[in-house]
Amino acid sequence: MRFDVVTIFPGMFVPAFQQGVIGRAIERGRVELHAHDLREHTRDRHRQVDDMPFGGGPGMVMKPEPVIEAVESIRASNKGPVIITEPWGEPFHQQLAAELAKESGLIIVCGRYEGIDDRVRTALGAREVSIGDYVLSGGEIPAMVIIDAVARLVPGVVGDPGSLAQDSFSDELTGWPQFTRPAEYRGMTVPEVLLSGDHARIKQWRRQQAAQRRRVSQTKEVRQT
């Protein structure tokens, strides 16, 4: 699967995807990642990518021409959907990750400043996606989150297929407490059931622990009104 990112900070993507399971997938050619410098698509002497907002207000807005021309030049080699990361976008979920993983590629546009001229979304038929209800300073980290979540669903990226849940709402979102050696550390012991070798009991314990974790986390969940 091929990912193309349009950003004023292409360098952010280099170290992020040199390591771990996605880094290895890129080395092995199962995933391709191209971070394009938006400024390469400007035509003026100052390589300006932003301008003042019509209607007034604070900050700057990303100009439409460089973004649209950047995406048009990428489209020849990437036929996938265009995503713009925006704080007000549709919520990014495991189900959307699974849907996007079926595409041959993705083109992700990263905003900065106060956002992107809205004609970019219109012209490109882009889908606006948000990774969560908190304010970040730009769309690069959200793009990395989306790439990580989607790329690991590409066949062959995560080594052991057994460690990858088949459907999007299965085991991967419902973890149980994990332990490894030593069986006792600073007086803290590993639950006896895990040392018992009784696989039926272990399965039951893990299921019950996962359910309890979900309940506890839910009592802590807050939402904006």
Q: Does 117 bind ligand JD8 (CB under 6 A)?
A: no
What positions carry a catalytic annotation? 87, 114, 152, 167
Q: Does 136 bind ligand JD8 (CB under 6 A)?
A: yes
Euclidean distance between CA atoms 221 and 136, whole angstroms: 20
Q: Which of 33, 109, 131, 151 binds ligand JD8 (CB under 6 A)?
A: 131
What is the number of the residue whose Cβ is closest to ligand JD8? 111
User: What is the closest distance, in whole angstroms, from the C-beta atom of residue 143 to ligand JD8 in the complex?
Assistant: 8
Question: CB of 64 within 8 A of CB of 33?
Answer: no
- Which of 18, 15, 6, 107 has the alpha carbon at shortest distance from 63? 6
Q: How far is C-alpha 160 from the geometric centre of its chain's CA atoms?
A: 21
- Which of 147, 129, 111 has the alpha carbon at shortest distance from 32? 147
Q: Which of residues 91-110 bind ligand JD8 (CB under 6 A)?
A: none
Q: Does 27 bind ligand JD8 (CB under 6 A)?
A: no
Euclidean distance between CA atoms 8 and 47, whole angstroms: 11
Question: CB of 97 within 8 A of CB of 158?
Answer: no
Q: Does 118 bind ligand JD8 (CB under 6 A)?
A: no
| b (16+ CB within 10 A) / e for 31-62 | bebbbbbbeebbeeeeeebbeeeeeeeeeebb
**Which of 46-54, 93-101, 119-127, 136-144 is the region at the interface with ligand JD8 (rule: CB under 6 A)?**
136-144
Q: Total residues at the site for ligand JD8 (CB under 6 A)?
A: 19
Q: Which of residues 40-99 bind ligand JD8 (CB under 6 A)?
A: 85-87, 89
Q: Using CB under 6 A as the criterion, what x/- string covers residues 143-182 for binding ligand JD8? A: ----------------------------------------
- Which of 36, 51, 25 has the alpha carbon at shortest distance from 158? 25
Q: Which is nearer to ligand JD8, 22 or 116 (CB)?
A: 116
Q: Which is nearer to ligand JD8, 4 or 140 (CB)?
A: 140
Binding footprint of ligand JD8 on the chain (CB under 6 A): 85-87, 89, 111-115, 130-132, 134-139, 142
